[in-house]
Amino acid sequence: MPHDPSALQLILSGDPALLAIVRLSLIVSLSAVAGAALIGLPCGAVIALARFPGRELAIVILNALMGLPPVVVGLAVYLLLSRSGPLGSWGLLFTPQAMVIAQTILITPIIAALARQTIEDLWLEYRDELAAMDVGLAGRVATLLWDARFSLVTALLAGFGRAAAEVGAVIIVGGNIDGFTRTMTTAIALETSKGDLPLAMGLGLILITIVVIVNALAWGMRRAGERLAG
């Protein structure tokens, strides 16, 4: 009986199950980055630029939330989305949507905290000009987010890295369903638990390669953008 194929053979033969897993991993993690950016970038910028009581505490908490354990986030989202939970009627448990929600929650603090630091540093440069033009808080947030866009790419990549690498949240809320909610990381966990360690390691190398490629693309976009916009 032939040996089960190695990870390399699966890629070379374009194995559809493997491609589906890679595709789902990318869709889930990239969607989470999009959602986390939509929430986290403005939040981070507002915390950087506004002055309000408890601001220092907010910064400390935001930084601490970068270390949210994925498995805890997964469990919390599971309890929310379970049919016996408050949002059960949405019917989202064990679907890719639940995985996107869990990962968005997980990485929003990362993007927000890094954005806050980036914007706060940039503010030192921009403060006088924007004060002289009497730009209000909303205008400052929008202007600095846009002007810091190349540095903020790094924050987004940090979020993507975290999302693509984690297994604790997606396996609990997704259920690792074959052909439906199985991602690279949950597949690696499965193959490890089945004892097929070479395959698990091979999948791991594929995952790392994909993350490197995403980073390289982002870097390329950033360099091209900088060349154009100075």
Question: 63 vs 82, which CB is nearer to another protein?
Answer: 82
Q: Which residues, including other chains, have CB under 8 Å from residue 94's CB and lie 6 or more apart?
A: 173, 174, 175, 177, 180, 181
Q: In Å, how far from its chain's centre is CA 191?
A: 24
State both tokens at 201.
């390691």
- Rule CB under 8 A: say whether 56 interacts with another protein: no
Burial of 218 (0-12, 13-18, 19+ CB in 10 A): middle
The span of 62-70, 109-117, 136-144, 211-219 binding another protein (CB under 8 A) equals 136-144
- Rule CB under 8 A: say whether 135 interacts with another protein: yes
Question: 28 vs 164, which CB is nearer to another protein?
Answer: 28
Between CA 3 and CA 90 the distance in angstroms is: 43
C-alpha radius of gyration, the chain, whole number: 20
Q: Which residues, including other chains, have CB under 8 Å from residue 139's CB and lie 6 or more apart?
A: 130
Residues in binding contact with another protein, number by CB under 8 A: 52
Give me the count of residues in the chain: 230
Which residue type is seen at 159? Answer: G
Question: 121 vs 216, which CB is nearer to another protein?
Answer: 121
Among 194, 205, 208, 223, the residue binding another protein under the rule CB under 8 A is 194
Question: 220 vs 225, which CB is nearer to another protein?
Answer: 225
Question: 60 vs 197, which CB is nearer to another protein?
Answer: 197
Binding site for another protein (CB under 8 A): 1, 4, 31, 34-35, 38, 82-85, 88, 90-97, 100-101, 125-126, 128-129, 131-135, 139, 142-143, 146-147, 149, 175-178, 180-181, 190, 192-197, 228-230
